[in-house]
Every structure is written in C-alpha cells, then in structure tokens.
Amino acid sequence: MVTGIGGNIHNFPAWSFRSFRGRIKTIEMKSGPLSAEGPLRDKKILNEVDTVVAVSVRDNGNMLELGLKAIADKKEVFVIPPPDNSKYFEGNRKLLKAGIKTLNIEIQLPEPKKSKPIFAENSPSSDCIWHFTKRSTCPWPGQSLDEYFESLIDNEPGSSHSALDALNRILQEKCIRASKKLIKGKYPVVCFTACSPKKLMGMKQYRAALLRWNYEPFGIGIPIEIAKSVGIKPVKYLSPEQYSGIKPEERFLYQKHLPPEIDYSAEQEWRHLGDLNLSNISNKDIFTYCENF
C-alpha cells in the first residue's frame, strides 16, 4: 500500500493496514499550497503502485489524466461504477468508455451507534448568535490518532465525530474549542453567526472539496447581550489593504471582503478569541438547535 501525507481520511486505511502488519510506503511531500502539491503528489503515488482504483474522478482533471496514463503504462486499472449522474463521476464514465474494467464492491456495515441528542430545556426569548457544529475526520482535542482510529474500529458511540457528536461533546465539556483553520494570522477562534437557524440552513451547500456540508443543522445559541459580555464580537469584513489598519488585538476579527467575488457578509459572523468556556454562562442562556429529532 502507498499512502500520501494527507488528512486522516487517507491515513486511516494506511493505519489499519499497518496495524495488521502490512507494508506501507509513504510518499513524502514538501509543504506548500494544496493546489500546487496535489498533482505532484498524485503523480508520485500512481508511479509507485501496480493497481489503480478510480472511485470518484471528475472530468478534465488531474486524476482523469493520470488514470489514462496508467492504462498506457499497462497498470491494472479498475473503475467503480458511478452511483449517479453528477459531475463528480464524469471521469469515471470516461474511463469506462476507455475500456477499463469495472470493480463492484459490496460493503456491509454494522448499524451505526448514533449519539442521542442532548437538548436544552428552554427556548430563546431574545436574539441569539449561533455556533453550528460540523462533522470532523480528526481526533477530538486531547484524543490521540490511535485512540481515534481504534474508536472507529470498535464502532464506539460518537466515534463518527458527526455534527451531532460535536454538539454533544460541547454540552458535556461545557466548552467550545477554538480553531485556527481559514483564519488569517492563525488566531484560534470560535465562530458564530447572527443569522437565524432557518436562514442559515437556507444557505446550506455541499462542499465537495472539503467532503462536507458548509452548515449542518446542529448548533448552540447564546443571547447577543450575553455573548458580548463574554468577549464575542462581530467580524470585520474588510479588504486585504485594510488589514494593517486593524488594532492588533482585534485582528482575529478580520474576514477578507472583496465583493462580488469574495463576500461572506451574509453569514453575519461573530468570533470569540480562544476556547469559549460555557461554565461562565448560565444554563438558562444556552440553547441548542437540532433538526429532525
């Protein structure tokens, strides 16, 4: 098995394979922008392997080109039949037309042990800002990679790290963990929105590049006045040229704004610098939002 240095989705099969004494060859890549690194990584991996399985290949992309090259190089190539007519499988269809063999896989999974939702007993009587949770393919804070993967193998409740799992963890820990992802300056922040849950769910879209939805219907709300009292502030939607004019202590609030190409102002984002300790907020001022329960 050959594995690239990448996200945990890719590391999991390598970890599983290695755990059963399989041989792993790691393709080392220099750090850099993913858009620049990806094609080189994919090319190096396909040069190393004997068998290629195309799972989801888009049209006119790097993977389609490499798949056709693998055929020319006399490698063994298989294609998973497209499950639908979406653009994410147009490359699969082209590879099938090129005469590549079909690989049909039957997967039987145990019934997942889903988390039970934890609900707040009261409903908001004033305007709130909301923190919506997302699914994750990474360990929880403080959880090792081995512990995370072993929880998946054992099918432990909450091991899927779904958006509901994340919400339950927040309520159990009484803490919302900060993240530096996609924040200029790598400030650790907790993000909120002043949009109502109904409005935000109306902006829901699937982000194929991230393998997840941009919003999921699980969140925690805090009245705006309470939020202000614990240091949660509205984001500053500004151009890159205006960044240097922001006070250093408020730069965690910066969000790039170059409409119409780059415009996230509809999200009405607020941020808290660092982890947010919910123990500092009365239970009567903490609300949960869960759809379909």
Is residue 2 very low, low, confident or very high in pLDDT (cuts 50, 70, 90)?
Answer: very low
198 and 258 part of one domain:
yes
Q: Could you tell me which residues are beta bridge partners of residue 27? A: 4
Same domain, 196 and 264: yes
- Domain match, 81 and 140 both: no
Q: Report the pLDDT value the prediction gives residue 42, as an integer from 0 to 100.
A: 78
pLDDT at 253 over 90: yes
Name the residue range of residue 219's domain. Answer: 128-290
214 and 77 in a common domain: no
Domain count, the chain: 2
Judge whether residue 109 has pLDDT over 60. Answer: no
| 244 part of a folded domain | yes
Q: Using only C-alpha atoms, what is the Rg of the chain?
A: 22
Residue 135 and residue 88 share a domain:
no
Whether 26 and 68 map to the same domain: the answer is yes
* Domain assignment of residue 119, yes or no: no
Same structural domain for residues 87 and 147? Answer: no
| pLDDT over 70 percentage in the chain | 78
pLDDT digits (tens, 9 = 90+) for 118-135: 445 455 656 899 999 998
Query: Does residue 94 belong to any structural domain of this protein?
Result: yes
Q: What percent of the chain has pLDDT over 90?
A: 37
Tell me if 111 is assigned to some domain: no
114 within domain boundaries: no
d(CA 189, CA 139): 18
Indicate whether 96 and 214 sit together in one domain: no
Query: Are 223 and 78 within one domain?
Result: no
- Distance between CA atoms of residues 111 and 122, nearest Å: 32
Are residues 187 and 230 located together in one domain of the fold? yes
In tens, the pLDDT along 158-196 reads: 898 999 999 999 999 999 999 998 899 999 999 999 998
CA distance 279 to 287: 14
In terms of domains, do 24 and 93 share one? Answer: yes
CATH number for the domain spanning 96: value is 3.40.50.450
Asked if the model's pLDDT at residue 202 lies above 80, the reply is yes
Residues 71, 194 within the same domain: no
